[in-house]
Amino acid sequence: MDSTLTIPAIFDDNPNICSIVVDKEGIVTYMNKTYMRVLNVTPDQVLGKPIAAITPGTYTTKVLRTGKAVTAYNWIINGYQMVASALPIFKEDELVGCFSYSISMNIWDHKNMLENLLAENSMFKAEALKAHTAKYSFDALIGEDPQFLQAKILARQVARQDNTKVLITGESGTGKELFAHAIHTASLRSHKPFVRVNCAAIPENLLEAELFGYEDGAFTGAKKGGRLGKFELANHGTIFLDEIGEMPLAMQSKLLVVLQEQVLERLGGNNPININVRVISATNRNLESMVEKGTFREDLYYRLNVVQIEIPPLRQRKGDIVQLIDTFLRGLNQRLHMHIKGVKDEALEVLLKYSWPGNVRELENVMERAMSLAYLDQADMIGKRHLAFICAKMKLNCCEENKGLKTIVQDFEKQLICDALAETGNNKAQTAQYLNIDISSLYRKMRKYGIPVD
């Protein structure tokens, strides 16, 4: 049996259901006993053999060629009348084989068996959707700032219009992807795939194949059997085109045609494929300015920008910082197995003064680093000294007030050690080398300052 697929018992053991698995070359890797009995063959006569030679009229070869399922078709073989389905098998978006099953017509009165079969079919669909599912809802969008709330309200409204295209704008780190996830989760397409494409991360020569897929042999190095594109994977669901402003002009023209016609052709293919996809795009660039400069197509811009949602930067909604800190504290404590209770007033003052060029993403990263330093410091509250790396950017004194010179020097030395341990992932040898001291001195100082050795 194919090690990549576990056959449910209802297919494997049932005397009224024939089932078979073939690899992407059409070679039989599994056939249940019922199907062998119907064909009057032995395992040696079918396993490792081409399915087209065993059952010439099979639909599995069509599935392997197109990557699309063929369901509920009549299948008559050796006098047995059946209803059959052939389903493609994907692994990491690559077509790797086909699973087919046929149900004998004389079992349709068995209600329980049909219910079990439908349940198993739902399981297969659920597995296919698992890799492309939205992870966030509107509850994950934290903030009470009026600008942020207005963006959130608009996103909730447009989520119900599940065919309306949305353009999300804002600086890096403001949460554009979270908004896209939330819109899909609140839409009528929520039970269908959510597929993200980072247009900036895919080389220009691969972008067309990534978006629209390709046929077998479309280009040198193409995977055997071809590959589905992101648009096909997102069919009936949502495709999120992140960093759309980075898409090359030539690719913009092809994307525009697909959006207008709702039809695509795979690279190397000539069969039009109808799609029904909701498009959400995002960018941190000024697309209007790019249109004026001729680096972004005007017609594509208006096609994508049906509803625009602009997310304000964190420096414009500093009233949300405390709420975001509390949210990150809870989540990071759980993920990192820590028990940091909160942030001291002088540390909070630093966080509120900082300009946050990296926005909410930077705040989360700063909280994780500060919590790690506090944990190494055996502190249950984040103090100003745990934000020394932020204080340095702001040219602030990170030492706490009302301390003598000796205490300040010791605190500074302890902080340096904690910072170095955090930077090296708690590697003592690297930390000693980084601080230009021998490792025995490092251990002595760690014991002196109560820094956990393990």
CB 398 within 8 A of CB 388: yes
In tens, the pLDDT along 236-283 reads: 999 999 999 999 999 999 999 999 999 998 888 888 899 999 999 999
pLDDT of residue 110: 46
pLDDT of residue 127: 47
CA 101 to chain centre: 32
Share of the chain above pLDDT 70, in %: 89
375 pLDDT exceeds 60?
Answer: yes
192 pLDDT exceeds 60?
Answer: yes
pLDDT of residue 177: 95
pLDDT mean over 354-379: 92
pLDDT of residue 5: 67
189 pLDDT exceeds 80?
Answer: yes
pLDDT of residue 67: 86
Residue 362's nearest CA partner among 394, 399, 325, 310 is: 325
pLDDT of residue 112: 52
Higher pLDDT, 23 or 121: 23
In tens, the pLDDT along 74-85 reads: 888 887 878 889
Who contacts 189 (Cβ-Cβ below 8 Å, separation ≥6)? 162, 236, 237, 238, 278
pLDDT of residue 1: 46
In tens, the pLDDT along 413-425 reads: 888 888 888 888 8
**DSSP code of residue 107:** G
pLDDT of residue 182: 96
pLDDT mean over 323-345: 94
Who contacts 371 (Cβ-Cβ below 8 Å, separation ≥6)? 329, 332, 333, 336, 338, 340, 382
Who contacts 253 (Cβ-Cβ below 8 Å, separation ≥6)? 297
pLDDT of residue 133: 77
3-state secondary structure of 308: strand
Q: Which pLDDT band holds residue 108 (cuts at 50, 70, 90)?
A: very low
CB 100 within 8 A of CB 140: no
How many alpha carbons lie under 13 Å from residue 430 in its C-beta half-sphere? 10
184 pLDDT exceeds 50?
Answer: yes
- Residue 212 has φ and ψ, to the nearest 5°, of -110, -5
Return the ∠ at Cα 289 (arms to 284 and 292), rounded to 5°: 145
pLDDT mean over 155-180: 95
| Domains in the chain with CATH codes | 9-128 (3.30.450.20), 138-312 (3.40.50.300), 315-448 (1.10.8.60)
pLDDT mean over 107-130: 51
